[in-house]
Amino acid sequence: MKLSISKRLSISFFLFLLIAQGCSHKMATSKREVLFEATDFTAENQFSGNIEGPAFDKNGNLFVVNYLRDGTIGKVGMDGHCELYVTLPEGSIANAIKFNSHGDMFLADFPKHNVLKLDTKTMELLFCWRKIWARQMESN
């Protein structure tokens, strides 16, 4: 079936209108709006490769395990400045921090299979649940 020139022009114009209407919205540009850009909060290389288990106390202070070297706890200030908070007993390395309602800090000591309790008022470090876990380890 051969179409007349006027019918072909009409169909072409109709298709043009359909295509033009479909493309009438604004095209996306290659530039994207930046909603957030991550930056380092602390200086580089202040934590060992075993950095894990950050936690905030009830006053909003941030504590992180393995500050400068394994077996330490660091305190990170609001400005990103870090300081040594406590050094754990020889051979202990924490991988998690939790606080109770009294402000005591509990540390999971993964090499020695202990939970350490730090009284943050006196800075006394105690072993918790060591005997219970020792019995469980013997029964395995």
Domains of the chain: 55-139 (2.40.10)
For residue 66, pLDDT beyond 70: yes
pLDDT band at 128 (very low <50, low <70, confident <90, very high): confident
pLDDT given for residue 55 in this prediction = 93
Lowest mean pLDDT of 12-26, 36-50, 83-97, 116-130, name the range: 12-26
Does residue 88 contact residue 116 with C-beta atoms inside 8 Å? yes
pLDDT tens digits along 67-126: 889 999 999 988 888 999 999 999 999 999 999 999 999 999 989 888 999 999 999 988
pLDDT band at 135 (very low <50, low <70, confident <90, very high): very low
Reported for 24-32, long-range contacts at CB under 8 A and 24+ positions apart, including other chains, are none
For residue 62, pLDDT beyond 80: yes
- Give kind and range of the element (H or E) at residue 56: strand 55-56
pTM of the model: 0.64
CA angle, 139 then 97 then 110, to 5°: 35
Among candidates 39, 105, 47, which has minimal Cα distance to 74?
47
For residue 65, pLDDT beyond 80: yes
The more confident residue out of 21 and 39 is 39
pLDDT given for residue 18 in this prediction = 46
The rounded mean pLDDT for the chain is 78
pLDDT given for residue 133 in this prediction = 47
